[in-house]
Amino acid sequence: MRRSLAAAVGLVGLAATAVVTAGGTASAAPEALVPALQRDLGLTAEQVRQRLAGEQAALSRLPDLRALAGDAFGGSWLEDGSLVVSLTRADLAERVGAEGVRTRLVQHTERALTEAKAAIDARAATAPKAVTSWYVDTKANTVVVEVLKGAAGAEVSSFVEAAEAAGPVRVEETTAAPRTYAGAVVGGEAYYINGAGRCSIGFAVSGGFVSAGHCGSSGDSVSAADDSALGTFAGSSFPGNDYSYVRTTSSWSASPVVSGYGNGDVTVTGSAEAATGASICRSGSTTGWHCGSVGAKNQTVNYAEGSVSGLTETDVCAEPGDSGGSWVSGSQAQGVTSGGSGDCASGGTTYFQPVSEILGAYGLSLTTG
């Protein structure tokens, strides 16, 4: 009997499965997130439901607020359940605040910060390994460059000096170097690459599923947990990006399901991007279902294999074998697991590649329900 493709998750890094299945039904997405959000955020079930409802309401209002702010828009995020909009013009604070949101006056526009970060991205190939990442910190209204504690030398100094010349930059020390979550073959259902590596499925799409780029290269064969033929990597990008597209065989059908690992499955209904500070959950074959909050977006992470730009940071844990898996906020697909630092015993930081970029790169359509 053919196994569900949703069970075939897990190779490299973190994340959830969600996806190409041989069949099955899905429970309501928000309720599927409740148990893990209770556990990981220390909330009651009712607090989780209120939080999710508030986040969705804020997300729906953001486009109009951004338009109202115009060129003075400095960014937005969720804080204590409330939407905060930063502005570079004091005269607009009253107008935007009249819409029922909190405002904060800042020095730099979102555009200025994005351009400064892009200038640093242009030097990514020269980034020494001691420089672990760089990203726009919307709340602090600056670009942050992270450097390993105690790191020194001409290469580090040169890169940091060039970054500081690009615009508003703050250098921070970190004790953890990010890594991709490639893992050895272990027990449990997953999908396997060339009969050896193991990764997690991201989301079902037209003709197959998406996952992480470091999971495999174009032409690599893919098999399910029961060793049945699953498909072939039709496209893969890593480093630079961290995404891939696996074209499945005709024996597999697409499903909008993301496995909740006993917490109830999630039916994906779309791919609206969650705000910074919003709740988010991931599922992976090594560590199962874990939740937390969205952090900095469009972050460039400097792995040992090379830098990857456009990633979203989270405070969710993950471990080797979870890579490529799904991330959801409510019932909205967010991305696939790339890598990070730490583990699920002590906590950690995990990054995902936004799903919208993957769909656009390969001209794919997300399977929704």
- Would residue 113 count as lying in a domain? no
Which CATH number covers residue 75?
A: 3.30.300
- Would residue 131 count as lying in a domain? no
The pair of three-digit structure tokens given for residue 303, joined into one six-digit string? 């792995």
Give the model's pLDDT for residue 152. 87
Which CATH number covers residue 281?
A: 2.40.10.10
Measured in whole angstroms, the distance separating CA 5 from the mean position of its chain's CA atoms is 21
The pair of three-digit structure tokens given for residue 179, joined into one six-digit string? 């890594």
- Would residue 120 count as lying in a domain? no
Give the model's pLDDT for residue 138. 96
Residues 90 and 32 in one domain: no
Whether the Cβ atoms of residue 76 and residue 62 lie closer than 8 Å to each other? yes
Residues 94 and 202 in one domain: no
Query: Which of the following is catalytic: 244, 255, 323, 326?
Result: 323
Residues 191 and 270 in one domain: yes
Query: Which of the following is catalytic: 133, 214, 309, 329?
Result: 214
Give the model's pLDDT for residue 180. 77
- 323 catalytic per annotation: yes
Residues 98 and 189 in one domain: no
Q: What is the C-alpha separation between 197 and 366, in angstroms, rounded?
A: 25
Residues 282 and 355 in one domain: yes
Alpha helices of the chain — where are they, by DSSP H?
Answer: 29-41, 45-69, 90-97, 110-121, 154-165, 355-362
Residues 26 and 61 in one domain: no
- Residue 61 CB partners (closer than 8 Å, separation 6+): 83, 99, 101
Residues 21 and 97 in one domain: no
Give the model's pLDDT for residue 243. 98
Residues 333 and 215 in one domain: yes
Residues 333 and 212 in one domain: yes
Query: Which of the following is catalytic: 4, 40, 133, 242?
Result: 242
Residues 240 and 215 in one domain: yes
Per DSSP (E only), the strands in 123-226 are 131-137, 142-148, 169-174, 179-180, 191-193, 197-199, 203-205, 208-211, 221-223
For the chain (length 369 residues), average pLDDT per consecutive 10?
A: 31 30 38 88 92 88 93 94 93 88 96 97 94 97 96 93 96 90 42 89 91 96 85 97 94 84 88 96 92 97 96 96 93 96 95 97 94
- 108 catalytic per annotation: no
- Positive or negative torsion for Cα 160, 161, 164, 165: negative
- 4 catalytic per annotation: no
Give the model's pLDDT for residue 90. 93
Whether the Cβ atoms of residue 338 and residue 352 lie closer than 8 Å to each other? yes
Q: What is the C-alpha separation between 114 and 72, in angstroms, rounded?
A: 14
Q: What is the C-alpha separation between 284 and 224, in angstroms, rounded?
A: 15
- Residue 158 CB partners (closer than 8 Å, separation 6+): none
SS3 call for 71:
helix
Residues 55 and 37 in one domain: no
Give the model's pLDDT for residue 181. 67
Whether the Cβ atoms of residue 94 and residue 120 lie closer than 8 Å to each other? no
For the stretch 179-198, pLDDT in tens is 876 542 222 257 899 988 88
Residues 225 and 261 in one domain: yes
Check residue 270 and report its DSSP letter. Answer: B
pTM score, two decimals? 0.79
Task: Quote the number of domains for the chain.
Answer: 2
Domain containing 224: what range? 5-41+180-362
